[in-house]
Amino acid sequence: MGKFQSHEVIVRLLHLLLPLQLLFLQSLSLSYTPPSKYFINCGSQNNTNYTGRTFVGDMSSDSSFTLSPKRDDPVVDSSPSPTTSQLYQTARIFKGPSSYVFHIDQNGTYLVRLHFFPFSSPTDLSTALFDVSVSGLPGLLQNFSVQNTSNLPLIKEFLLTINISKFTVKFEPSQESSFAFVNAIEVFIAPDSFIPHSALLVTRKGSKNSSYKGLLSRVLQKIHRVNVGGGEIEPGLDTLWRNWVPDDTFLFNRSTARNKSYDQPIQYQEGQSEYNYSDRYIAPDNVYSTAKEMNTNKGDQLQSFNISWGFNVTKNATHLLRVHFCDITSASLSVSPWINLYINSIFSRNIKIITLAVPFYLDFVVVSDNSGLLNISIGPHRDSPVNNSFLNGLEIMEIMQELRWVSIKNESKKKYIPLLVGSVVGGLALVCIVLIVFLLQSKCRKGKPAQATDWLPITVDRGLSSHGRIHEATIHSSPVPYLNLGLKIPFAEVQSATKNFSSKLLVGKGGFGNVYQGTLRNGMKVAVKRSQPGHGQGLPEFQTEILVLSKIHHRHLVSLVGYCDERNEMILVYEFMEKGTLRSHLYDSDLPCLSWKQRLEICIGAARGLHYLHTGSEGGIIHRDIKSTNILLDDDFVAKVADFGLSRSGLPNQTHVSTAVKGTFGYLDPEYFRTQQLTDKSDVYSFGVVLLEVLCARPVINPSLPTEQMNLAEWVMVWQKKGLLEQVIDPLLVGKVNLNSLRKFGETAEKCLQEEGADRPTMGDVVWDLEYAFQLQQTAMQREPLEDSTNDAASTFPLPTIQRYPSYSLSISNIHGPERRDGSSETTESEVFSQLRIADGR
Ligand SMILES: *[C@@H]1O[C@H](CO)[C@@H](O)[C@H](O)[C@H]1NC(C)=O
Ligand SMILES: *[C@@H]1O[C@H](CO)[C@@H](O)[C@H](O)[C@H]1NC(C)=O
Ligand SMILES: *[C@@H]1O[C@H](CO)[C@@H](O)[C@H](O)[C@H]1NC(C)=O
Ligand SMILES: *[C@@H]1O[C@H](CO)[C@@H](O)[C@H](O)[C@H]1NC(C)=O
Ligand SMILES: *[C@@H]1O[C@H](CO)[C@@H](O)[C@H](O)[C@H]1NC(C)=O
Ligand SMILES: *[C@@H]1O[C@H](CO)[C@@H](O)[C@H](O)[C@H]1NC(C)=O
Ligand SMILES: *[C@@H]1O[C@H](CO)[C@@H](O)[C@H](O)[C@H]1NC(C)=O
Ligand SMILES: *[C@@H]1O[C@H](CO)[C@@H](O)[C@H](O)[C@H]1NC(C)=O
Ligand SMILES: *[C@@H]1O[C@H](CO)[C@@H](O)[C@H](O)[C@H]1NC(C)=O
Ligand SMILES: *[C@@H]1O[C@H](CO)[C@@H](O)[C@H](O)[C@H]1NC(C)=O
Ligand SMILES: *[C@@H]1O[C@H](CO)[C@@H](O)[C@H](O)[C@H]1NC(C)=O
Ligand SMILES: *[C@@H]1O[C@H](CO)[C@@H](O)[C@H](O)[C@H]1NC(C)=O
């Protein structure tokens, strides 16, 4: 106990000192312009040179990025081959969610590469199964494994446009028992205009001469990068450290083509003519100085055929195709070929060579069909002066999810709207952000446990993979002036989804009306909340909920799929939440007990959602009705805050809102009750009550108990102040909770429940404290896997961890600084707001 406190003092001291240390670092860094360029050697103390760059060891003390939380260990190759680069002899493994945080000081398109090399070590790295997300954008890699990869190291490359100052790359095991790993990370800015904003769209039916807009607001993932007619180009020989592979394995008929190479200098030219000229960053000389050309006998002008390549791509996805040309085959312009380029045999484009040895490139956005194959062919145009055709290089990048934080430079925001509205109008399948929903009031769930395990979640990916359809909708639908109208669902659709409000599909009932589960025509499972006119949710609450929810999208906030206001109905359609309310997993039900770790994760999730509500938007949103029945769990127990009917948008420059007191008894902030001044600290109070509910697994008000025990918050705080919190926790947790973790949790709840709002922490602080409690639990579990560690609290306090990782402190203060606490949510909100504003302005 005494030991614990002294450690706590040290941590406090670190808190005080770190800002100073940071200041010092900042003043040092003023003398040079930070490069926005990160090459990281994960799991190593040593910097290592690789492909002409220095990869900085992420355990070295002077790193310019942070890793948080620092709870996981590095691994080292136990039998490295002498030819293996140092880079691939160490890795970092993550048994829980962990993020690298990078400071970005220049807006633009970034290349992000992740290197995976499962070397031999006590932990079999090839069994890792994990997800990677960036700055809160999920799904960069999902259920990712290197198990059956033959081409090692496996390098995943993404291109994304970043305009936020803190960029995070987060690794998270896909399953409880799994882990994540990474050997090296690269994050660096690409040259200007590396990726265009738009490119000609080639759909499955060919091209309608329309362009795909918004490439810069998408994540692109490299699928193929081919040096046609030449050998492999290693990263060290490429201007942007790319890897180019030979094309021969992609050829349908190898005897149709032969290699051609050129030993004169390539004439890079600036600007654009009919085509965009290339530069050395678009592709290096080695790509342009080799080509495949038709394998014809010299002088044979009769035999005309195409050279065709086939590339495996994701089925039904959209790809950016970049083809590189440079005429190195012709002796003079008068005998320079005129080429037909065919894409998937449904689109062709004439390419007339106008200068020799000058490289240029063309971009197309190609919607792949169900074959999973992208076909590229070249052949001589019928009017070509010579019977030849050639190709120098080719790149295929999959267009993945939409970036929610990006800003697009030099671009009017209006251009965004058609895509957005189009995607919404073009069928609800495309309301992509949404997963699944379940809205239930706890009273009503008796006898209706979340049995819907056969309900498949609709993942973000699935919603987004039909870009083709999104895009077609974009082109043909006329813009709708209000975004909200895009969420409107016809009553008939709601009726069909719920089998005309069948009582069999009724999953909840309450003051607001009924909640049904339903399935939209596109297969999406939803929760349908239908207010009963007269005694249901009032119109203001209905409107508030639509207004709030259509503006915000966050992993930890329940998403609105749509609404229906036809025939005086007030119907809200949400994502379906498989596991129901948090409360139903705590007490008064026979659902299995949540572990302490699960409970912490749920609290952290809900706290993040709330933090996002408070800070993400301009002026902030106050929920006003935080309680355990308004925290819902999805199939993976990911917590999402729900029910925004009472929420309030704070006005800018106004720290509180005076309003009639609303909320739920037992959770209600006494200060708000007294003063009627609503602030975000009222939510913090209610959240503190939820924390205690989670800890003690009992109702917040239980009139059947003795008076002193009746009110959960009052009763538990008595024990907390006595330092005997463990006496009153959920009996099912006894012996399974690390005491330090418990203590941190108790302190966090206590701070939330302070009488004066001003004394309470912000939700961002709460997130950090809970993450810390989580870390304490994790550390204890890793150290003493065989022990229940309740009795050796002091010895498990991770001071050694702090000493071992010098930059631990840095990550604390980084997380602790205002605004940057939660990299995952810091900007999506303003993005959404700006969209709304545009919509309003039309
Ligand atoms: C770091 O470098 C030192 C000496 O250069 C070497 O002894 C040590 O093994 C290296 N550590 C790792 C993790 O590669
Ligand atoms: C890496 O290269 C730099 C110069 O490019 C050199 O100063 C440094 O000593 C090299 N480091 C190692 C570990 O070889
Ligand atoms: C990046 O762009 C955002 C808005 O698009 C702007 O607020 C920010 O200042 C820019 N940052 C830099 C370093 O240019
Ligand atoms: C990942 O795996 C989990 C469990 O195996 C599964 O539920 C989920 O659908 C998978 N996600 C994807 C994108 O494949
Ligand atoms: C790897 O291949 C084996 C055998 O083909 C298969 O059982 C396993 O599921 C594969 N693993 C992954 C992650 O694809
Ligand atoms: C396609 O559009 C461009 C300009 O947007 C125009 O110059 C060209 O003639 C069009 N081509 C066809 C085949 O419609
Ligand atoms: C072309 O060159 C590459 C790399 O040198 C080689 O692997 C390939 O076999 C050659 N192809 C032909 C058709 O000669
Ligand atoms: C491959 O191309 C050559 C030359 O054009 C042709 O003679 C041969 O029939 C083709 N083979 C196949 C299997 O198509
Ligand atoms: C050239 O590039 C610009 C932007 O980088 C793009 O808008 C334009 O369409 C490209 N032109 C051609 C012919 O591809
Ligand atoms: C492409 O996909 C097919 C079938 O899915 C598979 O047989 C083939 O090996 C794949 N080719 C490459 C180069 O991955
Ligand atoms: C791709 O689309 C076709 C038709 O649109 C559909 O039949 C097929 O199931 C889809 N494939 C995948 C993998 O989604
Ligand atoms: C990023 O760009 C978007 C769109 O222009 C903008 O709404 C957002 O505020 C920007 N983010 C930052 C951090 O400036």
Over residues 187-239, the pLDDT tens digits come to 999 988 899 999 999 998 888 889 999 899 899 999 999 999 999 999 989 99
Q: Among 189, 208, 227, identify where a domain stops.
A: 189
Position 6 scores a pLDDT of 38
Same-domain pairing of 261 and 309: yes
Asked whether 249 lines ligand 2 (CB < 6 A), one says: no
Same-domain pairing of 166 and 203: no
Containing domain of residue 779, as a range? 592-819
Q: Is residue 420 part of a domain?
A: no
User: What does pLDDT average to over the chain?
Assistant: 74
Cα separations (Å) of 496 from 429, 516, 557, 561?
15, 12, 26, 16
* Closest ligand 3 atom to 106 CA: 13
CA angle 27, 29, 31 (to 5 degrees): 90
> Which of the listed ranges 268-277, 279-288, 297-306 does the model predict with the highest average pLDDT?
279-288
Asked whether 36 lines ligand 3 (CB < 6 A), one says: no
What tokens were used for 666? 């037992």
Q: Residue 745 pLDDT more than 80?
A: yes
CATH value at residue 706: 1.10.510.10
What tokens were used for 46? 């040593």
Q: Residue 785 pLDDT more than 80?
A: no
Position 123 scores a pLDDT of 82
What tokens were used for 389? 């055709």
Same-domain pairing of 338 and 277: yes
- Find where tokens 């005076």 sit: 658
Q: Is residue 587 part of a domain?
A: no
Asked whether 150 lines ligand 5 (CB < 6 A), one says: no
Q: How confident is the model at residue 37 (pLDDT cuts 50, 70, 90)?
A: confident
Beta-bridge partner residues of 351: 339
Q: Is residue 281 part of a domain?
A: yes
Q: Is 707 helix (H, G, I), strand (E, B) or coil?
A: helix
Which of 132, 172, 174 has the most ligand 4 atoms within 8 A of CB, as the residue to mutate? 174
Which of 407, 411, 827, 830 has the most ligand 3 atoms within 8 A of CB, as the residue to mutate? 407
Q: Is residue 147 part of a domain?
A: yes
Going by DSSP bridges, is the β-strand pair 347-352/338-343 parallel, antiparallel, or unpaired? antiparallel
What is the mean predicted confidence (pLDDT) over 402-428?
A: 35
Position 154 scores a pLDDT of 94
User: What percentage of the chain reaches a pLDDT higher than 90?
Assistant: 30
Nearest one of 375, 368, 274, 358 to 324, comparing CA atoms: 358
Q: Treating both helix axes as pointing N-terminal to C-terminal, what angle do 763-783 and 808-816 enclose, rounded to 10 degrees? A: 150
Compute the distance from residue 46 Cα to the ligand 1 centre, in Å.
Answer: 6
Compute the half-sphere exposure of residue 842: CA atoms within 13 Å on the CB side of its CA: 17
Q: Residue 397 pLDDT more than 70?
A: yes
Same-domain pairing of 301 and 172: no
What is 333-376 written as a DSSP string? Answer: GGG--EEEEEETTTEEEEEE--STT--EEEEEEEE--TT-EEEE
What is 557-612 written as a DSSP string? Answer: BPPEEEEE-GGG-EEEEEEB-TT-BTGGGTSSS-SPPPPHHHHHHHHHHHHHHHHH
Name which residue sits closest to atom 1 of ligand 5, judged by CA: 148
Position 62 scores a pLDDT of 58
Q: Is 507 helix (H, G, I), strand (E, B) or coil?
A: strand
Residues tagged active-site: 625
Name which residue sits closest to atom 14 of ligand 11, judged by CA: 316
Residue with the larger pLDDT of the pair 495 and 553 = 495
Q: Is residue 47 part of a domain?
A: yes
Over residues 684-719, the pLDDT tens digits come to 999 999 999 999 999 988 888 888 888 898 889 998
CA angle 715, 721, 725 (to 5 degrees): 70
| Cβ-based neighbours of 33, under 8 Å, separated by 6 or more | 105
Q: How confident is the model at residue 646 (pLDDT cuts 50, 70, 90)?
A: low
Compute the distance from residue 156 Cα to the ligand 4 centre, in Å.
Answer: 19
Same-domain pairing of 177 and 220: no
> Which of the listed ranges 477-481, 599-603, 805-809 does the model predict with the highest average pLDDT?
599-603
Alpha-carbon dihedral sign for residues 68, 70, 73, 75 = positive
Nearest one of 276, 365, 256, 383 to 326, comparing CA atoms: 276
Q: Residue 393 pLDDT more than 80?
A: yes
Position 536 scores a pLDDT of 52
Compute the distance from residue 620 Cα to the ligand 3 centre, in Å.
Answer: 21
Same-domain pairing of 264 and 293: yes
Q: Residue 430 pLDDT more than 70?
A: no
Position 460 scores a pLDDT of 23
Compute the distance from residue 199 Cα to the ligand 9 centre, in Å.
Answer: 7
Position 467 scores a pLDDT of 29
Q: Residue 339 pLDDT more than 80?
A: yes
Helix segments in 513-573, DSSP class H: 539-551
Q: How confident is the model at residue 642 (pLDDT cuts 50, 70, 90)?
A: confident
Position 470 scores a pLDDT of 24
Compute the distance from residue 374 Cα to the ligand 7 centre, in Å.
Answer: 22
What tokens were used for 303? 């035999």
Q: Among 367, 382, 402, identify where a domain stops.
A: 402
Asked whether 84 lines ligand 8 (CB < 6 A), one says: no
Q: What is the DSSP letter of 242?
A: -
Pocket of ligand 12 (CB under 6 A): 163-164, 405-407, 827, 830-831, 834
Q: Are 185 and 326 in contact (CB under 8 A)?
A: no
Q: Are 459 and 431 in contact (CB under 8 A)?
A: no
Q: Which ligand is nearest to the CA of 250?
A: 10
Same-domain pairing of 202 and 128: no
Over residues 92-105, the pLDDT tens digits come to 988 888 888 888 88
CB atoms within 10 A of CB 590: 6
Beta-bridge partner residues of 394: 226, 323
Query: In whole angstroms, what is the distance from residue 169 CA to residue 186 CA?
Result: 11
* Closest ligand 7 atom to 257 CA: 13
Q: Residue 130 pLDDT more than 90?
A: yes
Residue with the larger pLDDT of the pair 637 and 510 = 637
Would the pTM of this model clear 0.75, i.e. be above it? no
Same-domain pairing of 173 and 216: no
Which of 54, 55, 56 has the most ligand 2 atoms within 8 A of CB, as the residue to mutate? 54
Looking at the structure of the chain, the number of domains it has is 3
Nearest one of 723, 788, 778, 731 to 750, comparing CA atoms: 723
Q: Residue 8 pLDDT more than 60?
A: no
Q: Among 163, 189, 215, identify where a domain stops.
A: 189
Q: Is residue 439 part of a domain?
A: no
Compute the distance from residue 830 Cα to the ligand 12 centre, in Å.
Answer: 7
Same-domain pairing of 212 and 182: no
Question: Comparing 16-25, 591-600, 704-713, which segment has the lowest mean pLDDT?
Answer: 16-25
Question: Comparing 388-392, 440-444, 543-547, 792-796, which segment has the lowest mean pLDDT?
Answer: 440-444
Same-domain pairing of 178 and 78: yes
Q: What are the E-state strand segments in 25-105?
A: 37-41, 48-50, 53-57, 66-68, 74-76, 90-94, 98-103
Nearest one of 53, 393, 48, 89 to 232, comparing CA atoms: 393
Over residues 451-465, the pLDDT tens digits come to 222 222 222 222 222
Cα separations (Å) of 760 from 49, 680, 687, 752?
48, 10, 11, 5
Same-domain pairing of 221 and 154: no
Provide the b/e sequence for 218-233 (b: ≥16 CB within 10 Å): bbbbbbbbbbbbbeeb
CATH value at residue 385: 2.60.120
Going by DSSP bridges, is the β-strand pair 37-41/53-57 parallel, antiparallel, or unpaired? parallel
Q: Residue 837 pLDDT more than 80?
A: no
Q: Is residue 547 part of a domain?
A: no
Position 375 scores a pLDDT of 95
Residue with the larger pLDDT of the pair 672 and 536 = 672
Position 84 scores a pLDDT of 84
Name which residue sits closest to atom 9 of ligand 7, judged by CA: 248
Asked whether 675 lines ligand 4 (CB < 6 A), one says: no
Nearest one of 160, 135, 281, 157 to 215, comparing CA atoms: 160
Q: Is residue 434 part of a domain?
A: no
Position 645 scores a pLDDT of 65
Position 469 scores a pLDDT of 25
Which of 42, 45, 59 has the most ligand 1 atoms within 8 A of CB, as the residue to mutate? 45
Q: What are phi and psi of 494, to 5 degrees?
A: -65, -45
* Closest ligand 1 atom to 90 CA: 13
Q: How confident is the model at residue 144 (pLDDT cuts 50, 70, 90)?
A: very high
Position 607 scores a pLDDT of 94
The answer to whether 529 is annotated as binding is yes
* Closest ligand 7 atom to 295 CA: 13
CB atoms within 10 A of CB 787: 13
Longest dimension (CA), the chain: 103
What tokens were used for 33? 């312009």
Over residues 54-69, the pLDDT tens digits come to 898 888 765 667 777 6
Same-domain pairing of 787 and 744: yes
What tokens were used for 479? 């813009």
CATH value at residue 143: 2.60.120.260
Q: How confident is the model at residue 106 (pLDDT cuts 50, 70, 90)?
A: confident
Q: Which ligand is nearest to the CA of 103?
A: 3
Over residues 175-187, the pLDDT tens digits come to 888 999 999 999 9
